[in-house]
Chains A and B, each alone.
Chain A
Amino acid sequence: MSKMNGSARTLLLSLVVLVLLSSVSFAQAQEKVKVTFWTWLSNEALVEEFNRLHPNIQVEHVKMGAYDAQNKFLVALSSGTGAPDVIQLMARHFSLFSTTGKLVDVTDAVKDIKDGYPSNLIEAVSYNSRMYGLPADVSPAVIWYRRDIFKKYGIEAPFATWDDFAKAAAVLKKNGVTMMPLFYPAGGWGANALVMYLHSRGGNIYTQEGKVIRNNKELEYTLQWLNDLYKNGFAEGITFFTPEFWGAFKAGQFACWPMNVAEGANIRQYMPELSGNWGVMPFPRWSDKKEQTTGIWGGTVLAVPKQSKVRDAALTFAKWVAGTVQGQVWASKTWNAVPAYSPAYKDNHYSLGDPYYGGDNVYKMINPVKPFYYFDWAITERIIGKQLDLMFAGKVTPAAARAAIEAELIDETNR
């Protein structure tokens, strides 16, 4: 074999280097940006759809408990490492994170979609007039009810007022059926259930400025109403979301469940055999109120931590989920999410009935919502939950529970 001269060798070497470099840059172009997404909701189908539509971004769906996600996120922000690129957080606890300066300011990034959100949702994700998250969904309350049980005992749905609800509960009780389950021991969820009813009356725990409402008549009314339900045997305490809980529904022990829209997905998942036997109705009007409004259970927010090394891709995903009709519809299809982004409601999905709920369309059952203000919510949940337990145990009256809630909140939060 003849030896190559120096210039030929140099040329060949240059060509090899060129081919190698171009293959590296080609591979980089083909390489997907990986986005880690922490959530406690079953968003798998939504993520799959996003990945299908965005070939250059690969979102990894990491599912964990709602509080697990929040705790791990707190530790990750605190230590400066280990946070996901996008996280779904509980809206009522979002102020714990939005005030830290450790989340990406998304104000400019969402300029083009900001008008699609109601002002109260923008307010909920803002701190010092800057947005640190995107409202992903709202969680309004409806009443899920068993059509077959109602029919059997001649109960008409929907109820015009909560008084009608109580009258129906009395009929059911005579026939050995309890109207609804109750969080007891209350814990945080029980507190939020009470707040859902309070909110449906237009009530609040705090003022818009974050002060504890003193001598809160709306709160006392709601406590009294819930206590009466329990004492009359119209509501029964149970540990929620356990096999016992779903079993009680299957056995026809409970006739209805006033809860958020998203819970409909769980009803369907845990009780497929009851298809057609469930229905949904709006929250009734309170007899002493003119308007028929509903309460909010919670809602979620998507946030991008400053730690994320792929902020643009993370924001693309968050904006697609929370700020496009397509993303919002996918969230609704996946877990009954109620869109935070108003333009989504134009989609046909929200005008369809659902055979599982006997043809009812849950999105048509949502009453208007009045503003509600969350401050120091973990402390608030704990204090309300304790007083609910004492009230159901007959150790304090609703009036005393209300006074104790206010006193403890003022003492612990200085609000």
Chain B
Amino acid sequence: MKQVSLTIDKRLAPYVFLLPFLVFFLAFRVGPIVWSLVVSFTKWSGMNEAVFVGFQNYLRVFKDGRFWTATYNTLYFVVVYNAIMITLALLLAVSLDSSLLKGKGFYRSAYFMPITMSLPVVAMVFDLILARGSGLLAVLLQYLGIGLRVRWLSNASLAMWAIILMRVWRGTGYYCAYFLAGLASIPKDVYEAAKVDGASAWTVFTRISLPLLKPMLLFVLIMSTILSFQIFDEPWILTQGGPADATLMLQIYLYQTSFLEGNLGRGCAISYMMTLLMMGASVLYVKRLGERDA
């Protein structure tokens, strides 16, 4: 009987092994991306017959004042949150990296803990902290003799800050872990040489740690920016984007348009405009931080 050969051409072998991943990647990643691009040119509720409308969705979104409000709010949040969070995470990492600190394990775990909590739970906890009159913050202020009854979530300016601080509390420890890993990878003899030269702690930080941490800083910045662009849970649970759109973020705008108002075509257009924004921000970071290393 003639034997059937099961050997594979060596040149095809890598592709055969990659095939299962590629099939899933095309089906569940590339497919929806392409499909949503097609949908963005239609008027479609997800349940009726889709009608081709060309660039109408994009034009409508572009002319919609709420889109620009959401874009401004999201950019404001992304910039302020990242500035505060990355500064704090860096300072925290440097502190935790200090040889003078005892019980590092405890601090690392404690600072990392908030990221393990689910976002809705965090939002509910902060709702209790910020509660007017009876909240933890109000009680602490009263204890200090400051009888402040602030409506944190009903005040357009304060509501945004409440959400920023909540995110900072949650994210700082997580990104601190990245910086700690970056600091650990810096050769110790560089620090010893600086010590011999009589460099101060500030000089060591600005001239050695920071430049050598730049790749990690760039990574954290891009990751954190992309994730913070996707902010949804906290403002949705606490304020539903209010008061009067003061905490309206692009994700809330997208969710309202797509699911609550049943306009998936326009929702897909919003998501593509968001992607362009995020890509623009990432390119800017890479150019500003990456080219200096070149």
Residues of A at under 8 Å CB distance from B? Answer: 67, 70-71, 74-75, 77-78, 96-97, 99-102, 184-188, 237-239, 242-244, 247-248, 251, 253, 376, 378-379, 382, 385-387, 389-390, 392-393, 395
Interface of chain A, helix or strand or loop or mixed? helix
B239 at the interface (CB under 8 A from A): yes
Question: Cβ of B134 and Cβ of A379 under 8 Å apart?
Answer: no
Question: Cβ of A78 and Cβ of B156 under 8 Å apart?
Answer: no
A395 contact set on B, CB distance < 8 A: 244
Interface membership of chain B positions 257-290, coded 1 if the CB is closer than 8 angstroms to chain A and 0 otherwise: 0011110100000000000000000000000000
Question: Cβ of A242 and Cβ of B124 under 8 Å apart?
Answer: yes
Q: How far is the CA of A386 from the CA of B245 in the complex (A)?
A: 7
Contact A378/B260 with A393-B156, A393-B243 known, Cβ cut-off 8 Å: yes
A184 contact set on B, CB distance < 8 A: 151, 154, 243
Question: Cβ of B256 and Cβ of A239 under 8 Å apart?
Answer: no
Q: Residue A237 contacts which of B46, B154, B256, B262 (CB distance < 8 angstroms)?
A: B154
Q: How far is the CA of A67 from the CA of B159 in the complex (A)?
A: 23
Question: Cβ of B240 and Cβ of A188 under 8 Å apart?
Answer: yes
Question: Cβ of B127 and Cβ of A244 under 8 Å apart?
Answer: yes
Q: How far is the CA of A242 from the CA of B135 in the complex (A)?
A: 12
Question: Cβ of B238 and Cβ of A239 under 8 Å apart?
Answer: yes
A102 contact set on B, CB distance < 8 A: 47
Q: Residue A75 contacts which of B46, B151, B241 (CB distance < 8 angstroms)?
A: B46
B206 at the interface (CB under 8 A from A): no
B131 at the interface (CB under 8 A from A): yes
Q: Residue A187 contacts which of B45, B132, B156, B242 (CB distance < 8 angstroms)?
A: B242
Q: How far is the CB of A64 from chain B (nearest CB, A)?
A: 13
Question: Cβ of A243 and Cβ of B242 under 8 Å apart?
Answer: no
What 7 A-B pairs come out closest when comparing CB atoms?
A185-B242, A78-B46, A187-B240, A100-B47, A389-B244, A389-B243, A244-B131
Q: How far is the CA of A100 from the CA of B156 in the complex (A)?
A: 38
Question: Cβ of A96 and Cβ of B134 under 8 Å apart?
Answer: no
Question: Cβ of B128 and Cβ of A386 under 8 Å apart?
Answer: no
A71 contact set on B, CB distance < 8 A: 259
Kindly identify, within residues 95 to 134 of chain B, every residue whose CB is under 8 Å from any CB belonging to chain A: 124, 127-128, 131-134
Q: How far is the CA of A247 from the CA of B132 in the complex (A)?
A: 12
B47 contact set on A, CB distance < 8 A: 74, 77-78, 97, 100-102
Q: How far is the CB of B39 from chain A (nearest CB, A)?
A: 10
| Total CB contacts across the A-B interface at under 8 A | 90
Q: How far is the CB of A239 from chain B (nearest CB, A)?
A: 6
Contact A244/B134 with A185-B242, A187-B240, A386-B245 known, Cβ cut-off 8 Å: yes
Q: How far is the CA of A336 from the CA of B63 in the complex (A)?
A: 45
| Closest Cβ neighbor of A93 among chain B residues | B260
Question: Cβ of B242 and Cβ of A186 under 8 Å apart?
Answer: yes
Q: Residue A393 contacts which of B45, B124, B244, B259 (CB distance < 8 angstroms)?
A: B244
Q: How far is the CA of A242 from the CA of B124 in the complex (A)?
A: 8
B200 at the interface (CB under 8 A from A): no
Q: Residue B242 contacts which of A247, A251, A386 (CB distance < 8 angstroms)?
A: A386
Question: Cβ of B134 and Cβ of A251 under 8 Å apart?
Answer: yes
Q: How far is the CB of A338 from chain B (nearest CB, A)?
A: 26
**Highest count of chain B CB atoms <10 Å: which of A101, A238, A239, A243:** A239
Q: How far is the CA of A396 from the CA of B177 in the complex (A)?
A: 47
B7 at the interface (CB under 8 A from A): no
B153 at the interface (CB under 8 A from A): yes
Q: How far is the CA of A251 from the CA of B45 in the complex (A)?
A: 46
A-B contact pairs, 29 of them (CB 8 A): A70-B259, A74-B46, A74-B259, A96-B45, A101-B47, A184-B154, A184-B243, A185-B154, A185-B239, A187-B242, A237-B151, A238-B132, A239-B127, A239-B238, A242-B128, A242-B131, A244-B127, A244-B128, A378-B260, A379-B261, A382-B260, A382-B261, A385-B242, A387-B244, A390-B244, A392-B154, A392-B243, A393-B156, A393-B243
Question: Cβ of B244 and Cβ of A378 under 8 Å apart?
Answer: no
**Highest count of chain A CB atoms <10 Å: which of B124, B135, B241, B244:** B244
**Highest count of chain B CB atoms <10 Å: which of A100, A188, A253, A392:** A100
Q: How far is the CA of A244 from the CA of B238 in the complex (A)?
A: 12
| Closest Cβ neighbor of B44 among chain A residues | A78
Q: How far is the CB of B217 from chain A (nearest CB, A)?
A: 36
A186 contact set on B, CB distance < 8 A: 242-243
B185 at the interface (CB under 8 A from A): no
Contact A78/B154 with A244-B127, A386-B242, A393-B243 known, Cβ cut-off 8 Å: no
Q: How far is the CA of A379 from the CA of B245 in the complex (A)?
A: 14
B159 contact set on A, CB distance < 8 A: 185
A99 contact set on B, CB distance < 8 A: 48
Question: Cβ of B135 and Cβ of A244 under 8 Å apart?
Answer: yes
| Closest Cβ neighbor of B256 among chain A residues | A382
Q: How far is the CA of A393 from the CA of B127 in the complex (A)?
A: 20
B242 contact set on A, CB distance < 8 A: 185-187, 385-386, 389
Q: How far is the CA of A75 from the CA of B262 in the complex (A)?
A: 10
Question: Cβ of A242 and Cβ of B127 under 8 Å apart?
Answer: yes
Interface membership of chain B positions 69-90, coded 1 if the CB is closer than 8 angstroms to chain A and 0 otherwise: 0000000000000000000000
Question: Cβ of A386 and Cβ of B244 under 8 Å apart?
Answer: yes
A238 contact set on B, CB distance < 8 A: 132
B245 contact set on A, CB distance < 8 A: 386
Kindly identify, within residues 217 to 263 of chain B, every residue whose CB is under 8 Å from any CB belonging to chain A: 238-245, 256, 259-262
Q: Can you add 18 more A-B contacts, CB < 8 Å, to A100-B47, A238-B132, A376-B261?
A: A96-B45, A96-B262, A99-B48, A102-B47, A185-B239, A187-B240, A239-B153, A242-B124, A243-B128, A244-B127, A247-B131, A378-B260, A382-B256, A382-B261, A386-B244, A386-B245, A392-B154, A393-B244
